[in-house]
Structures are given as structure tokens and as C-alpha cells.
Amino acid sequence: MLPHLLNARLLRGALPALSLATLLAAIFTIQPNAMSYFGLNLMLQYAVPIALATLAQMFVITVNDLDLSIGAFVGLVACIGATYLHDMPALGLAMLAACIAIYAAIGALIQLRDLPSIVVTLGMSFVWLGIAVLILPTPGGKSPDLIKAVMGLKVPGIPFPVVATSLIALVVQLGLMHSSYGTVLRGAGGNPKALARAGWSMLRIKMTMFAMAGFFGVLSGLSLVGLTTSGDAHIADRYTLYSIAGAILGGAEFVGGRVSPVGAVLGALTLTLTGSFLIFLRISPDWQIGAQGAILILVLALRAVISRGERR
């Protein structure tokens, strides 16, 4: 019984990596030239901002909430990065810090008033988008030189997106999964009443997790503007769906505080590669969301089968 349970858990944990490996194998079979430094770098060009947005969503999911505004927020950050941060760095940094503080305040509002996070964050998505349009009514601006240089780094032998996402996943994995405070933060999603009885402030924990979501959302927007070299209020409209799908593909669950930073990054890489896979199949990019949904459903179905095996 115990070996069977261990095998089921190992398989469950390996699903994100298996999904990514399967997709890579399919891409390399269809287009062997993609199995190169240039090919991987091109396919994973936008992996860093998507992975960061996915991790932002993961922090919110950890405390049993859902953020429907992360895409609009990333777009706002991109607009701030391409305008104020480039022209007036001090003001731009202050605006980004204020954005993170507002994210923490949203977490406090949800906790204090016991409001559904879906409703609050959906409303905030319109706020973020409205501010972004006011800052940059039409696509334009210019990426700060430092951010552009960082996102344009060339690492010998390994594509920069692979190196960057690996480092990001490692840092978050160590902080959230292998630290005492990380255990407390995850416990807020698993058993908040027990944490409250132990003296931990659920308000502080909720604000911390939403602030972390805002921080990673800022990193996502800045990395995105570093790649595109300009800003656009609608540049990250799909990132909300990407972030939710990536986190779920990576093993996150909407209740219980069960998440995996490494899995979330692997899920984000899988979603990023889906677009290239469809292009190689000569399928219209309009079908990209549908294909990502199909992959998500397949992985969830496999996870359900594995979970059923764990309970036996």
C-alpha cells in the first residue's frame, strides 16, 4: 500500500515535467531544427514574463484566492515602464511601489470584509486597464536601457529564458517550500483556523501573499517591456488565463494551499511552447487558447486519475 501511494505521489509531482517533455518531443519530431540554441531561444522568448505572471497567480492561489486582474496589471506595469520609468526613473519606481502596495491593500480588503477575490480582482482589472490607457492611450514609449539589456542577455550554451526561469523557480521554491515562514504562508491556505489559533495574523499573511503577487506582476511587466521595447495597455490581456492555466498545470489546487513554484514555471513553459507547436502544425494562432485549454484538461484528467489511485 505504501509503495503504491509513494509512486502515485511521485507521478503526480512529475506531471508538469512530463507534460513539458512530451510537448518538446512532439515539437522536435515535427521540426528537428527547433532543437538548437537559436530555436529554443526563439520559442521561449516570452517565457520569462509568463512564468513571472504565473508565479504571481500562484501566490494568490496559495491562500485559496484567485486573481483575475493580473493580465491588466502586467499591462499597466509595461506602460509605466515604457513611459515614466524611462523618462523619470524615480517617479516610475514610486509608481511601481504604489502598485505593489495597492495589491497588498486588496488582500487586506478581501480578508477584512470576507469578499470573494474573483469579484474584487475582476473589478480591479478594469481599474488597472483604465489607468494604463490613461498613461499610454496608444502603443508606444520606450523600454529602459537596463531592462532591455537584461532581457537581451546571451548566455553561452543555454538560452537565456531557460536560465532565467530556472533561477526564478529555484528562488521561489526555496523561499516558499523550504523555509519556516513559507510553511506558514502555505498553511494559510490549508488550515487558516489553526494558524489563527497559533497566533499568526491572517490579515498579515493575506497582505504578504498579495504583495508578493504584485511584486512578481511588476517583474513580469518590466521583463515584457524589455522584450517588446515599448508599452501597450493591452499587451498582456491573455496573461490572466496563462497564469491560471500555468499554475494549475504546475500542480496548484484552488483549495488547501497546495502549490509548486517549480511546477508553475514548468506549466508556464509548456503554455509558451504551445504557440510554437501550433505554428509548426500550421494551425492558426487563433486556436492557441483552445489548444492550451485542451492540454490543461488532459493534465487535470491525468491528475484526477492519479489522485483516485492515492485514495485507494
Reading the chain (312 residues) residue by residue, the pLDDT tens digits are 445 544 556 666 778 888 889 889 999 999 888 889 999 999 999 999 999 999 999 999 999 999 999 999 999 999 999 999 999 999 999 999 999 999 999 999 999 999 999 999 999 999 999 999 999 999 999 999 999 999 999 988 899 999 999 999 999 999 999 999 999 999 998 888 888 888 999 999 999 999 999 999 999 999 999 999 999 999 999 999 999 989 988 888 877 778 999 999 999 999 888 888 878 877 776 777 777 677 778 777 777 776 665 555
- Does the global pTM surpass 0.85? yes
Residue 231 bridge partners (DSSP):
140
* Residue 70 to residue 72: CA distance in whole angstroms: 6
Distance CA(62)–CA(100), nearest Å, equals 18
Cβ atoms of 55 and 217 closer than 8 Å:
no
Q: How many of the other CB atoms lie within 10 Å of CB of 175? A: 14
3-state secondary structure of 164: helix
Nine cell digits for residue 76: 499597466
What is the predicted pLDDT for the residue at 309?
A: 57
Tell me the three cell numbers of residue 125: 482589472
Q: What's the confidence (pLDDT) of residue 312?
A: 57
What are the structural domain ranges in the chain? 15-311
pLDDT of residue 255: 77
C-alpha cell of residue 203: 490579515
Question: What's the pLDDT at 153?
Answer: 92
Contact present, 162 and 148 (Cβ < 8 Å): no
Strand partners, 140: 231
Q: Enumerate residues 6+ apart whose C-beta is below 8 A from 34.
A: 27, 28, 40, 43, 276, 280
pLDDT of residue 51: 97
Best CA proximity match to 45, nearest among 288, 170, 226, 168: 226
Give the integer Cα–Cα distance in Å for 117 and 12. 28
The neighbour count for residue 1, using CB atoms within 10 Å, is: 6
Cα 31 to chain centroid distance, Å, stands at 28
Q: For the chain, how long is the longest CA-to-CA vector?
A: 63
Whole-angstrom distance, CA of residue 299 vs CA of residue 16: 8
At the topology level, CATH places domain 15-311 in ABC transporter involved in vitamin B12 uptake, BtuC (1.10.3470)
Residue 167 CB partners (closer than 8 Å, separation 6+): none
